[in-house]
Amino acid sequence: MKINKPIQAIISGSFLLGLLVLVLMILLWVFDAKQFSILSFILIPLGASMLSFAVFGYIFQSYLGERIRTLYRLISSKKFADEEITTSINQDVFSKLELDTKKWASVQSEKIAELKAQEEFRREFLGNLAHELKTPVFSIQGYVLTLLEGGLEDDNVNREFLERALNGVDRISAILEDLDEISKYEFDRYSLKLSVFDIVGLTKKIFGELEKRAEEKGITFEFSESFDPIKVKADMGKISQVITNLISNSISYGTEGGKTIVRFHELDKSQILVEVADNGLGINEKHLPRLFERFYRVDKSRARNIGGSGLGLAIVKHIVEAHGQSIKVRSTEDVGSTFSFTLSKV
């Protein structure tokens, strides 16, 4: 039978005390043989050992037990009664305490790492938000000051400067609207209007809407093959927003004379995979894990010149996940990028 550590320690201490008493009795007997009988050499050390066992057991359960309960109060988030934490010498409380403290330390380490990551994200988010707002605010401020310092009376500049200031206001408004939309998804303050529609037909419509912008860069739209209508069940307005954003990005970051190709793959009877691919500049692999974060830009200076709020891909991710689906990206520098997401197929 395995003996637990508290009893092992108490038995060892009691045995040593009994042995010490026996040695003292032998020494006394050497000087005065009549002082102890043979039976005394058995009973007195045995009694001392038993007494020490009882005393050590009492000390363990009262003194150490209270400190063990105090330690549990520090490491546990649960409210408990004292009797729930037993410190009986019949139980290996030290092994249990060691296991519980290691588990507690592991949980705390994970929480600390998570809090550090969240704090880093908050700092970066606030810095990015300030940077995104700073450019339009400064431009508005400059145009307004110019108008106030005399430009308002100059017919050659007043209307032009007011229109430029309005563009800055529109940029800020777009950022705030996108932030509001993201917060609705993050806090579940949204409702999807699910309907059955043809995803191929919707994509053709979006091609038509963005065709003029693509022609300016010599980019052509095409499907990887001829597709029959594919019926999906989703929020058509939201999915239109997703496809528009992905195709728009393929134009913004595509190369002159490039292509944007849309593919549809049937995964099973209940799902299809939608892919939007380009042969543009591509994205370095180190940026891919963070590409769907709010305000994250691969090339900050270049991306801000192109425009946009920096929230488009974050919104796309939230929309797709709100449908219970997933989105990912594959990309290689100087080869191109492919964004793919799943949808429920009818």
Residues 162 and 248 in one domain: no
Q: What is the pLDDT of residues 11-34, one digit of tens each?
A: 666 666 666 666 666 665 555 655
Q: What is the pLDDT of residues 193-239, one digit of tens each?
A: 999 999 999 999 999 999 999 999 999 999 988 889 999 999 999 99
Q: Judge whether residue 290 has pLDDT over 70.
A: yes
Report how many domains make up the chain: 3
In a domain, 103, yes or no: no
In a domain, 134, yes or no: yes
- Among candidate residues 56, 91, 126, the one where a domain is terminated: 91
- Among candidate residues 145, 164, 186, the one where a domain is terminated: 186
Residues 165 and 293 in one domain: no
Residues 258 and 303 in one domain: yes
> pTM for the full model?
0.61
CATH number of residue 160's parent domain: 1.10.287.130
262 or 154, which is more confident: 262
Using CA atoms in the order 236, 220, 312, 204, what is the torsion angle rounded to 10 degrees?
A: 0
Do the Cβ atoms of 338 and 330 come closer than 8 Å?
Answer: yes
In a domain, 68, yes or no: yes
Residues 168 and 47 in one domain: no
Residues 308 and 332 in one domain: yes
169 or 124, which is more confident: 169
State the pLDDT confidence band at 2, using cuts at 50, 70 and 90. Answer: very low
Sheet bearing 271-278, strands edge to edge:
220-223, 259-266, 271-278, 336-344, 327-332
Q: Judge whether residue 82 has pLDDT over 60.
A: no
Name the one residue in this structure whose structure tokens are 């894990």.
Answer: 289
Residues 126 and 258 in one domain: no
Q: How far apart are CA 278 and CA 258, in angstroms?
A: 7
Q: What is the pLDDT of residues 298-345, one digit of tens each?
A: 765 444 445 556 788 988 999 999 999 999 999 998 899 999 999 999
Residues 203 and 231 in one domain: yes
- Among candidate residues 91, 119, 139, the one where a domain is terminated: 91
Structure-token pair, residue 9:
């320690």
Q: How many CA atoms lie within 13 A of 210 on its CB side?
A: 26
Q: Which domain holds residue 235?
A: 194-344
Residues 182 and 226 in one domain: no
**Short-list 42, 85, 41, CA closest to 67:** 85
Q: Judge whether residue 61 has pLDDT over 80.
A: no
**Short-list 230, 173, 184, CA closest to 203:** 230
Helix (H, G, I), strand (E, B), or coil: what is residue 273? Answer: strand
CATH number of residue 267's parent domain: 3.30.565.10
Q: How many CA atoms lie within 13 A of 90 on its CB side?
A: 1
In a domain, 27, yes or no: yes
